[in-house]
Structure 1
């Protein structure tokens, strides 16, 4: 995203009062712009294809098409759009399904306003964000399914990474965004973005969060 460019946001929420509340909150921020709103998952996919937003604030439980299925379609059809799940539900199944669908962040609706705004800005810079209790659930899952570590090149189900791709993968797992990776490795941000796309493809991952989950799980002892 170019410096000074506003973050373009699509709000997908089936409850009109909640949708209006989010819209009112975001409208007060000079660096944020609401480009569209949707009342269900199918409309969210349609509006995302039309407006190509930077960020999609996505509820999970919505009519016609739920937020996880909508996330999967948006990630596939709008590669520059980043999805933030904003929901009242934090069950293990929904969290893992949302991450595997391609969501870059998972917050609960009782999050503080500042946390929601910070997450939008962070995700637009290439970061991932998880609510603390969601992060704990993921760590518990790592421990539950842990397996002996294996070098990346020994994973027969995965195409080998180059040395540079491995460097970038380590920084992604450490939570670094594209801008930070570019500065640390002295690369153009666009070059880093291209590397990240190739790494995601090689790992068959839809998002940086899913990529980090797979990598940490592979290394767990």
Structure 2
């Protein structure tokens, strides 16, 4: 079955462009669209979808609140946030609310299509280059920990798992981590699975935020 995509953006022209791009792919289809978060949330209660392309700023209900409500309602749809540099604080809020990843609005078409497929497959690695660029803007806004205070969950991790976490935090892909740490890509996936389990974090994006919040990587 094709990956079902729902579009939520207040600009009809943007939605139209996304629809044309997505429906040109054999493995993707657009199952609905909405011009604001409130309409999108309501429609997604009756329209099954795998991935939502969610704009951050919209009338009536923004992307952050919509993402939060979808998660609270137990909707399994994965949210891919669309953002621009001047909305970094909203990106962080959306990721904390349960979004599976983010993508810059000026990304290339192939990056968007790849991101949709990755998120649908449960992988939160969305446009690593965008992750690296946007983290420079997001990280200074993270709350962080008090000087000298560490998160007790770090005590659960092995030295190798912390090394993997550090690489994830700077936007490295599994293959990049494998090359740098001299391990098989399958071993990297095993370490990531253990990190998610031990830290009780939902996905890879959550690992990035955790690493910066507790100071595993230097801001």
Give the TM-score normalised by structure 1: 0.69
Match of 2:45, SS state, is helix
How far apart in 2 are the matches of 1:48 and 1:197? 28
Residues 93 and 142 of structure 1: is their aligned pair in 2 closer, same or farther, counting only changes over 3 Å? closer
Residue 124 (structure 1) shift: 1.6
- Which structure 1 segments of 5+ residues have no match? 177-182
- Aligned pair count reads 202
Most deviating of 40-49 and 101-110: 101-110
The answer to whether structure 1 residue 184 and structure 2 residue 186 are counterparts is yes
Residue 106 (structure 1) shift: 1.8
Q: Which residue of 2 aligns with 1:135?
A: 132
Most deviating of 26-35 and 46-55: 46-55
Q: Which residue of 2 aligns with 1:50?
A: 46
Q: Which residue of 2 aligns with 1:208?
A: 204
Residue 132 (structure 1) shift: 3.7
Q: 1:7 aligns with which of 3, 6, 27?
A: 3
Q: 2:96 aligns with which of 81, 96, 100?
A: 100
Q: 2:111 aligns with which of 77, 90, 115?
A: 115
8 Å CA contact 2:85, 2:137 repeated in 1:
no
8 Å CA contact 1:147, 1:219 repeated in 2:
no
8 Å CA contact 1:99, 1:207 repeated in 2:
no
Residue 92 (structure 1) shift: 2.7
RMSD: 4.0
Q: 1:219 aligns with which of 207, 210, 216?
A: 216
Q: Which residue of 2 aligns with 1:180?
A: none
Residues 123 and 160 of structure 1: is their aligned pair in 2 closer, same or farther, counting only changes over 3 Å? same
Q: Which residue of 2 aligns with 1:68?
A: 64
Q: Which residue of 2 aligns with 1:179?
A: none
Match of 1:91, SS state, is helix
Residues 159 and 89 of structure 1: is their aligned pair in 2 closer, same or farther, counting only changes over 3 Å? closer
Give the TM-score normalised by structure 2: 0.70
Residue 77 (structure 1) shift: 2.7
Residues 71 and 215 of structure 1: is their aligned pair in 2 closer, same or farther, counting only changes over 3 Å? same
Match of 1:62, SS state, is coil
How far apart in 2 are the matches of 1:18 and 1:114? 16
